[in-house]
């Protein structure tokens, strides 16, 4: 009976390892798709054009309003508006910004 318990635990560990074999940062929670207001937490966050080329940057503590999701190159970026009406595409990674909702 004890062997079955150990075998079960080993099986579970194998399944979990198979499901998660990535970088520890892959385990970060996703950004909240229901929230449209975010704050930049990185020192800088690249502002990109529709082709994904870097234009300039948003800065830490700058608030961003999400205007569109997944509409740029590879459906990877979000279109946002920052302070002063500056707009562009950003990578919606929780390492770079946090929801304010």
Region 50-70: mean pLDDT is 94
- Whether 40 shows a pLDDT value over 60: the answer reads yes
For residue 98, what are the β-bridge partners?
39
In the predicted structure, residue 91 carries a pLDDT above the cut 70: yes
**Structure-model confidence comparison of residues 37 and 33, the more confident one:** 37
- Is the pLDDT reported for residue 5 higher than 70? no
- Sheet with 37-40: list strands edge to edge: 54-59, 44-48, 87-90, 78-81, 63-69, 37-40, 97-99
35-99, CATH topology level: SH3 type barrels. (2.30.30)
Give domain limits for the chain.
35-99
Measured distance CA(81)–CA(31) in Å, rounded: 17
pLDDT value at position 61?
Answer: 97
Residue 14 pLDDT more than 70?
no
Structure tokens given for 5? 């318990």
């Amino acid at each position: 009976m004890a062997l079955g318990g150990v075998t079960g635990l080993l099986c579970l560990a194998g399944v979990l390892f198979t499901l998660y074999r990535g970088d520890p940062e892959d385990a970060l929670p996703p950004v909240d798709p229901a929230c449209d207001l975010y704050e930049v937490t990185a020192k800088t966050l690249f502002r990109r054009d529709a082709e994904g080329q870097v234009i300039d940057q948003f800065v830490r503590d700058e608030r961003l309003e999400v205007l569109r999701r997944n509409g740029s190159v590879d459906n990877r970026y979000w279109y946002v508006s920052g302070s002063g009406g500056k707009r562009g595409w950003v990578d919606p990674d929780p390492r770079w910004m946090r929801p304010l909702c």
